Amino acid sequence: VILFSDILTPLPGMNIPFDIVKGKGPIIDPQVRTAADVENVVEFCPEEAVPYVGEALRILRSE
């Protein structure tokens, strides 16, 4: 099954905050620029970060 979702969906679960700014689009703040910033990024675990996506896929697959 294929579910189209926003590419930004995983970011909060990876400890990457962002905001949608009118006229600009998504802004990651603070930006990930240094090795230390990368160290703060959490490995993405879909079951924990976005469990609703898996549930949506299960529902769609059953239809």
Query: Per DSSP, what are the bridge partners of residue 27?
Result: 19
- Across the range 23-27, mean pLDDT stands at 94
pLDDT in tens, 35-45: 999 999 999 99
pLDDT at 5 over 80: no
pLDDT at 13 over 90: yes
Boundaries of every domain in the chain: 11-62
Q: Which pTM value belongs to this model?
A: 0.72
CA 50 – CA 44 distance, rounded (Å) = 9
